[in-house]
Amino acid sequence: MTQNTEAAPLPRPFDDSFAKDPHAVWARLRQAGSVHRVELPDGLKVWLVTHERDVRAGLPDARFSVNKRHSTTGFSGFSLPPALDRNLLNVDPDDHLRLRRLVAKGFTPRHVDMLRESIQEAVDGLIDGVLERIAASGEADLVAAFAKPLPLRVVGALLDVPAADQDRFAGWVAGMLAPRSREELVTAIGAIHRFLIDLVAERRVRPGEDMLSGLIAARDEEDRLSEDELVSLAFLILMAGSENVQHVIGNGMLALLTHPEQLAALRADHGLLPEAVEELLRYAQPVQTAIRRFPTEPVDIAGRRIPAGETVLFSLASAHRDPARYPDAERFDIHRADKAHLALGHGMHYCLGAPLARLELTLALGTLLDRVPGLRLARPAGELAWGTTFRSHAVRALPVAANVVA
């Protein structure tokens, strides 16, 4: 068994070259091996796993905990207040399964299909705005005008956020997902926390058919949720339901617009939409690494021994471009036979909102193709700005033009 030593400085792969082309960096790491001991930009030492086979095996491995109490070396990033931290991303099997069963009731096929009409209304309304902007100025930013607000409206419907509160709610979420400073992040999270507490109190008095009302019933009538767990779950639904869908729409539309033969095939046959969504989740998925894991005992992966308590990052982005799993992995191909990606998780932490995410993406892409004739980039793809960290790679703005008459 190969043992790791840290006499020399550890590699720091998440540098300027990663920001310019993360997939090239992942390719180099894969070629050098599956498991790498590296240093994050904030100085935390972690283990990166890059080969698809090892990522797919590691994600559901019960020896890897998501509970931060198992960490012996600390963890990277902003720490949520404890009252927002009792969610599915931070608890292990017993509590996880209990919470998951409660939340799953809101994501059954019947409940998701009930949201179809409201999602379609949101899609149509936002596309109206896109068309108006193009007619007035010749172009529109598809991220700001469509990809960013759409999932927020869907989450608003899921939690039944009052219409009067939706603008300030959206502002807080923007401050949380893309803060300009740590102070803005702290302020936004605090505002969202207070809003959710007030929303829970209001929904207790006037319950509805929304997911939050169902969770409150589980808390109050059956005592299966603590108050912190209740608010944490609402916060997770907001966070998970907003950011990833937004970025898949932005990255995905860019992939389609820069692959005209794929776009033409999809325009010609909307029956290919489900296939296209799966390939976009593989090829254009923004998430670079899954949520950190901590081994509860020493674990061997690809000949490397990872001590208990250290931080392990399984790279979804690397796995999705691994040629050992996907032939011609760097090619975007909606006809690809093997689309068994990891974008929505694998094992116990598979995304409960996967059916809802797929419905949003299908309605968003299909309606854009139907209602925006001649949709095309208004800037060369090489000039577009990206937001890139070891966690995420997403296009910041997507200026588009179309055949719209003023």
Mean pLDDT of 53-68: 93
- Token code pair at residue 332: 């975007």
Q: What span, in angstroms and rounded, lies between the C-alpha atoms of 130 and 141?
A: 8
Q: Give the pLDDT confidence score for residue 93 in this predicted structure.
A: 67
Sign of the CA dihedral with 142 first, then 146, 151, and 152 last: positive
Q: Which residue's entry shows tokens 């139907």?
A: 370
User: DSSP state, 82?
Assistant: G
Residue 3 domain-assigned (yes or no)? no
DSSP per residue over 331-356, as a string? S--TT-S-----TT--GGG--TTHHH
- Give 308-321 pLDDT, tens digit per residue: 999 999 999 999 99
What is the identity of the amino acid at 17?
Answer: S
Q: What span, in angstroms and rounded, lies between the C-alpha atoms of 47 and 35?
A: 7
Nearest partner of 126 among 164, 173, 170, 168, judged by Cα: 170
Does residue 394 register a pLDDT over 90?
Answer: yes
Residue 4 domain-assigned (yes or no)? no
Indicate the range of 46-60, 233-247, 368-382, 390-404 predicted with least confidence.
233-247
Evaluate whether 161 touches 122 at the Cβ level (below 8 Å).
no
Residue 120 domain-assigned (yes or no)? yes
Most distant pair of Cα atoms in the chain: their distance: 68
Does residue 165 register a pLDDT over 90?
Answer: no
Mean pLDDT of 48-68: 94
Percent of the chain with pLDDT over 70: 90
Give the total number of structural domains in the chain. 1
Nearest partner of 394 among 285, 264, 258, judged by Cα: 285
Residue 7 domain-assigned (yes or no)? no
Evaluate whether 112 touches 359 at the Cβ level (below 8 Å).
yes
Mean pLDDT of the chain: 87
Helix, strand or coil for residue 209?
coil
pLDDT tier at 199 (50, 70, 90 boundaries)?
A: confident
Mean pLDDT of 95-104: 70
Distances (CA, A) of 260 to 13, 158, 250, 377, 381: 33, 35, 16, 11, 13
- Give 28-38 pLDDT, tens digit per residue: 999 999 999 99
Q: Which helix (H) or strand (E) holds 64?
A: strand 64-65
CATH, residue 344: 1.10.630.10
Residue 80 C-beta-side C-alpha neighbours within 13 Å? 20
Does residue 307 register a pLDDT over 80?
Answer: yes
Residue 177 domain-assigned (yes or no)? yes
Q: Whole-angstrom distance between the N-terminal and C-terminal Cα of the chain?
A: 68
Helix, strand or coil for residue 377?
strand
Q: Which helix (H) or strand (E) holds 3?
A: none
Residue 6 domain-assigned (yes or no)? no
Indicate the range of 87-91, 212-216, 387-391 predicted with least confidence.
87-91
Sheet holding 311-314, edge to edge: 35-39, 45-49, 311-314
Q: Which domain holds residue 67?
A: 16-401
| Neighbour count for residue 110 (Cβ, 10 Å) | 7
Residue 147 domain-assigned (yes or no)? yes
- Give 215-259 pLDDT, tens digit per residue: 777 665 565 667 777 787 788 777 777 888 999 999 999 999 999
Does residue 70 register a pLDDT over 90?
Answer: no
Indicate the range of 95-109, 264-278, 338-352 predicted with least confidence.
95-109
More confident call, 237 vs 16? 16
- Helix H, strand E, coil C: the string for 156-178 is HHHHCCCHHHHHHHHHHHHHHHC
> What are residue 289's DSSP bridge partners?
315
Residue 237 domain-assigned (yes or no)? yes
